[in-house]
């Protein structure tokens, strides 16, 4: 009985410390780049469309993209690429924005999942779009969904600085 307990402890320690397949990172590294590319491309196409729809006058910047962890430390489960920009001024009243945004998304091939008084969410090709609006402006984001890569790769990706998407100002 004691012998069985020792074997279990040894196997447990071996597994926890790398003798098992504990950090396989199911998706190949190239998948992460593919998802980031798809997210960037969608952001560059969709954000200006939405901006035009609400008659945007100013954005926070040319937009930014970055990796963020899925799950949490000490054992994150993956990484997600997120592209964001905010419309800080527009010539459209806040009360009219939801309808205009949903319409622009539909015309660009997005499936609008939900429209509320605060936000519009939509999806396309595994990407998730979200616009959150109010009297002070509109946040726009597109996220890739979590990509299952190794923990070392997660940390490398999330260490990368934000990148400028280079969206044109209105």
Partner 1 sequence: MPLRRVSRPEALRTMPESASSVATGIRATGESVSNTQETLAGEGTPAGWKGSASEAASNQFTKLSGDLDSAVAALSKAATAMDRYDDRLQRLYSRRQTLTEEVSSINGQIDAYDADVAASDPEDAEAQSALKARSKELERQADALQGRVDGWNADQDAADAAVISALQSVDTVAEGDDAAKNPNRPDAPELADRLKDKVDAGDPEAVATWWASLSPAEKQALMIHSPELVGNAGGIPTVDRDEANRTSMYSDIDYLGEREKDGQLTDLEEDQLENARGALKTLESYKDRIDPDTGENTAFLLVFRPDAFDGDGGIAMSLGNPDTADDVTSFVPGLTSESSSLSGNIKSMDRLMQLADGKNGDDTVAAIAWIDYDAPSSDDGMTDNPWDFVQVAGEGKATDGGERFAEFVDGMRASDQGSQAHFTAIGHSYGSTTVSHAATDNDLQVDDMVLIGSPGAGSADVATDLMDNGNVYVGSADYDPVSLLGGPGLGALGHDPSQDDFGAHRFEVDPGSYRVQDLMDNHSSYFNEDSTSLDAMADVVAGDQPDEVDGRVPGTYQPLSDLLAGTTIVSGGEQAWNGIEYTGGKVADGVEYTGGKVADGAGWAWDRAEDAGGWLGSLG
Interacting residues toward partner 1 by CB under 8 A: 5-6, 8-23, 57-58, 60-61, 63-64, 66, 68-77, 84-86, 88-96, 116-119, 130, 132-139, 146, 158, 161-162
Q: Which is nearer to partner 1, 17 or 125 (CB)?
A: 17
Q: Which is nearer to partner 1, 33 or 164 (CB)?
A: 164
Report the distance separating Cα 65 and Cα 82, nearest Å: 6
Beta-bridge mates of residue 22:
none
CB of 107 to partner 1, least distance (A): 22
CB of 30 to partner 1, least distance (A): 22
Short-list 52, 40, 167, CA closest to 101: 52
Rounded to an integer, what is the distance from CA 109 to the centroid of its chain?
Answer: 19
The residue behind tokens 């979200």 is 130
Instruction: Answer whether 108's CB lies under 8 Å from 46's CB.
Output: yes
CB of 24 to partner 1, least distance (A): 9
């Amino acid at each position: 009985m004691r012998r069985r307990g020792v074997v279990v402890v040894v196997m447990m320690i071996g597994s926890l410390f790398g003798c098992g397949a504990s950090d396989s990172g199911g998706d190949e590294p190239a998948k992460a780049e593919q998802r980031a590319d798809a997210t960037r491309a969608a952001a560059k196409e969709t954000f200006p469309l939405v901006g035009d729809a609400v008659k945007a006058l100013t954005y926070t910047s040319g937009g930014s993209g970055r990796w963020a962890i899925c799950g949490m430390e000490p054992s994150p489960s993956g990484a997600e690429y997120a592209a964001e920009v905010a419309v800080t001024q527009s010539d459209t009243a806040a009360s009219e924005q939801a309808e205009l945004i949903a319409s622009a998304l539909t015309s660009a091939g997005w499936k609008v999942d939900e429209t509320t008084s605060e936000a519009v969410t939509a999806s396309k090709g595994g990407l998730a779009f979200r616009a959150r609006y109010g009297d002070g402006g509109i946040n726009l984001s597109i996220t890739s969904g979590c990509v299952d890569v190794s923990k070392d790769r997660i940390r490398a990706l999330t260490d990368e600085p934000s990148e400028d998407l280079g969206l044109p100002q209105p």
